[in-house]
Structure 1
Amino acid sequence: MKHDLVVLVPGIMGTALTRGGADLWDLTPEAMGGLLRPGRTREALELPRGIGDDDPEPPHALELGRTVHGARILPGLVSTTRSPDLRGLLGIEPERFAEFRYDWRLSNRNSARKLAVFVEERLTRWRETADRQLFPRAGEAKVVFLCRSMGGLVVRYYTEVLGGWEQTRSVATLGTPFSGSVKALRFLTGQVEWVPSPFREGIREVCSTFPSVGQLLPTYRVVVDRQQGRSPLRGRSVEGVDTRTVDDSFAFFREVQDAVAESDALHSRRRRTLIALGGDKHRTDQALSFAAGGRPVFHQDFADSGDPEDRVLPLFGDGTVAHIAQTPPEWPDTGRTVWLDSRHADLVNSDHALKQLRRVCDGLEPAGVLSVGEPVGCEFPDFARAGEPFEVWATNADAALRLRVRRLGEDGTPVVDEAMRHCGGGDFRAELRAEPGRWTLEVYSTARRYSCRDVLLVV
């Protein structure tokens, strides 16, 4: 409703974490060195092992800086492209728009408790101070949440486990891993693609101390076996991952699902509106099996499952979160999710996503499937070395699209623009090089309205 308070909740890397005014998690090529060298910088980046749901003490405690609207990347796990002025594009008045800033390294339970305090203060202020001539119903206002990626898990814990649904009108999520992400397990086992050692190990060692990353481990039936079909990860020993991390991820998601089931039974599913938006065109880790010693082997389909029904499950995703995991598990199928063409990093920039979010903020029903209909999937590297070649691929593409790829600077200015070469079937490829920096890569069509973007870090 147009009298409700709108709250933006970002995901990983969405809040600047600072010390002495320095943004420590702005991972430029220069800053990557801090992950590799023992010392005060690395000590500040990581958390004490076993911190659980608590707050860190110095030297691990960091201050909250601004909400990040520029491009960011945590190589091997997640990236975000430059964000628009969401409030302005959605036509929301400044006084009824708020951004929740939080330490995204910490447990999602911890962040949800802080969100509860934030909502209580901001919603009370809005109800009491809103201009009654402009907002005559502000006294009965609730919250509309706009959530990016992991931010949706923070909001979900707040609304369902902490009872925040009573103050909530609606929740819109963009690429939220409602059942976790296989990519998070690849990240924590040090098997990330593109990122070479020692950067890979430095990132893994630091981020394995983050409860929030552990709570992204997949909880759907993700393990495929040629005899047994599919089974969950719980109870298995995974090389490189503490068993307690796996247990905590399952406990977190189970808390949420139990609370959803109880509240739905007592108060009906209409107690608040939930709209999930996701990407479904891009090759994405879907499943895994185990080699000797508990080392996971990752799959982009369910072909190794012994259950024939598993082999026809929806494939692809947004490049970070699988199709199946972007839908709340209490929904009977993925048909209610609003599917977009964008990758995880760029979902919020989709014209279709913005139209949907505008409807949410205006209290209107979801508009249904918003894909433009192009089946194109894109594959971008996270990481490259300066001066060395890297590849960008487009799949399921039609030659009539006349695809090109360009490299954009921090301000969005194109630096390099090249045609993609046809490699047979629906595959197109381009080979590029870049100087050190953080770049946005964009595959786009010169014949139709199509583009797809992600972020690259070059060192």
Structure 2
Amino acid sequence: MTYGGSERTGVSPDATHDAVVVVPGIMGSALRDTTTGRPVWGFRDLGWLRAAWLRGDGMHPLHLDENERSGKYGRIEATELLRFPAWAPFLKGFEPYKDLLTAVDSVAHPKAVLPFPYDWRLPVAVNGAKLADAAHRHLAKWRASAEHACARRLHPDEREARLVFVAHSMGGLVTRAAFAHAASQGSDLALETRAVVTLGTPFFGSVQTAAILNGNHSPVAFLPRCRMQALSATLPGVHDLLPDYRCVDAGADVHRLGPTDVAALGGDKELAREAQAFQQRMREHVPELPGHRAVVGVAQPTAQSLRLDAGVVREQYVAFRRNGDGELARDRDGIPGRHDRAGDGTVYRDAAYLSSTEPIWLPLQHGALAKDSTAIKYVRAVLTEYDQDLGPALGAGDIGLDVPDLVEAGNPWLLRVRSAPDSDRATYAGIRCTIHDADTDRQIAKPALGWHDGDFGARITLRAPRLYRIKVKSGGNAPVTQLVLAVDPADD
């Protein structure tokens, strides 16, 4: 990999001399048990995924124990950013971060880049404090290097390097918590930062988290979902992702999800209370993120609200709006108005940016926001922009992908392609679908798309138990992708 290189004599490289910090999302860091030395998350052997979720007790080492609940951390340590595809119920697939790390090759030297793996099980505030300290150390080390001195001379005003954070999903919350920690310590982290790029960050939480803590749903994924629920009920990091907006549909009214609600649906009441207090601190006391650009996934079917039915979470693909007075918008009969705002399949669009931020819309699934070529190009553009620029705007697109997160090998299922509600059938012309091995990205099938009882899509049968990557592409747009785990029916 060449950093800041140029093959044309006399042409300066289009690179930044700033220091870059890459912060992954939940489950995006490989973890190791320090007591045994064994990895507990982030394996190359994809067979481990089936064993962990369907047999044995492979997820138990990730559960928070009593020492960790009391703040005594260190049993588990983060070793690196995820390098291989992974999968978890509800959260679907986790793409590796090699493409995002490649995106930051627009720096003067590899020393300018800091990948920041973290123990995503722990509270966001804990990881934010660690990130603030690590970013300060990284900037100081880079500024003191000979490579920085050389690169600095190429900058128009020869200013010192500043920080640029590139954060995916939960990583954006960790980054925001880093600025909160720094502000509470009287640190100058905000002044030392030029830009923050967040990719699919759930600033106001995700309804999907409530579904995870509830653990119910289809029989085909019963055991993996139960194990995910049992794990998540112990993790402060998961509770920090609970929706922080009025999302519980009570018919004539809509209210927030409270700690008692969380306990009733399967979460931990105390962790929910602590998460709610943390979210309130973020709302009331955290300064704006410097130079913030929020890349937001749109057009993908996304849970936006929920109903609680005798302790069971019923996800809803509609959201509620406020009027100009900040009150719940209602129709003439006093019924709250419902609107499908979609999102990236995990985070609905209005929860993925802050009021002070102008969002950049991309028609991508949550995991692909850190991998897709269009998002990668945008990150590069922010890294190499002049100080006074805001970077290029990107279009919204209108192709959505609706697939299950887990299927049985050998059994057919329907892949659905979505478009805008008012689209006619001509909109779907030219859409192509391919199926790939998730580990190698080798194409193994090209299903024919067509109409099935009013839905546009394809009947899919994945023959072998493994992790697959589904790609759907339309015209010149970047493909929409999603990971799907196929399991042996005998494992259920």
Comparing 125-134 with 299-308, greater Cα deviation is found at 299-308
Q: Partner letter of residue 82 of structure 2?
A: V
State the shift of 1:347 in Å.
1.0
The RMSD of aligned alpha carbons is 2.8
Correspondent of 2:258 among 226, 234, 246: 234
Q: Partner letter of residue 347 of structure 2?
A: V
CA spacing shift, 1:33–1:135, aligned 2, 3 Å: same
2:403 alignment counterpart: 380
Seq. identity, %: 27
- On the 8 A contact 1:80/1:454 being kept in 2, the answer is no
Check if 1:355 corresponds to 2:373: no
| C-alpha distance in 1 between matches for 2:126 and 2:485 | 30
Check if 1:13 corresponds to 2:13: no
| C-alpha distance in 2 between matches for 1:236 and 1:306 | 26
State the shift of 1:4 in Å.
1.4
- On the 8 A contact 1:341/1:372 being kept in 2, the answer is yes
1:390 alignment counterpart: 413
Q: Secondary structure at the match of 1:121?
A: helix
Check if 1:289 corresponds to 2:289: no
Comparing 22-31 with 344-353, greater Cα deviation is found at 22-31
CA spacing shift, 1:430–1:38, aligned 2, 3 Å: closer
Correspondent of 1:162 among 155, 179, 182: 182
- On the 8 A contact 2:361/2:396 being kept in 1, the answer is no
Alignment of 1:102-251 (within 5 A): 102-131=118-147, 132-136=149-153, 140-163=160-183, 164-192=189-217, 196-228=221-253, 230-234=254-258, 236-237=260-261, 238-251=264-277
1:266 alignment counterpart: none
State the shift of 1:257 in Å.
1.5
Larger radius of gyration: 2
| C-alpha distance in 2 between matches for 1:87 and 1:202 | 31
Correspondent of 2:463 among 434, 441, 444: 434
CA spacing shift, 1:307–1:372, aligned 2, 3 Å: closer
Spell out, residue by residue over 1:271-330, the C-alpha distance to the aligned partner (whole angstroms, 9 max, x if none).
7211100111111000012223x43322111489983395365510000001111112x4
| C-alpha distance in 2 between matches for 1:139 and 1:10 | 29
- On the 8 A contact 1:194/1:383 being kept in 2, the answer is no
Spell out, residue by residue over 1:231-279, the C-alpha distance to the aligned partner (whole angstroms, 9 max, x if none).
211254232122223222211111112222xx4xxxxx5x721110011
Correspondent of 1:412 among 436, 441, 451: 441
Correspondent of 2:285 among 237, 259, 263: 259
Spell out, residue by residue over 1:426-457, the C-alpha distance to the aligned partner (whole angstroms, 9 max, x if none).
63233222311122111234x54452111112
- Stretches of structure 1 that go unaligned for 5 or more consecutive residues are 264-268
- On the 8 A contact 1:12/1:78 being kept in 2, the answer is no
TM-score normalised by L of structure 1:
0.86
- On the 8 A contact 1:26/1:72 being kept in 2, the answer is yes
- On the 8 A contact 1:152/1:176 being kept in 2, the answer is yes
Q: Partner letter of residue 439 of structure 2?
A: E
- On the 8 A contact 1:49/1:209 being kept in 2, the answer is no
| C-alpha distance in 1 between matches for 2:392 and 2:258 | 34
1:338 alignment counterpart: 360
- On the 8 A contact 1:279/1:339 being kept in 2, the answer is yes
Comparing 140-149 with 89-98, greater Cα deviation is found at 89-98
Check if 1:47 corresponds to 2:64: yes
2:91 alignment counterpart: 77
- On the 8 A contact 1:143/1:170 being kept in 2, the answer is yes
CA spacing shift, 1:11–1:303, aligned 2, 3 Å: closer
- Stretches of structure 2 that go unaligned for 5 or more consecutive residues are 1-14, 184-188, 322-327, 420-424, 488-492
- On the 8 A contact 1:223/1:231 being kept in 2, the answer is yes
| C-alpha distance in 1 between matches for 2:250 and 2:392 | 35
| C-alpha distance in 1 between matches for 2:152 and 2:278 | 38
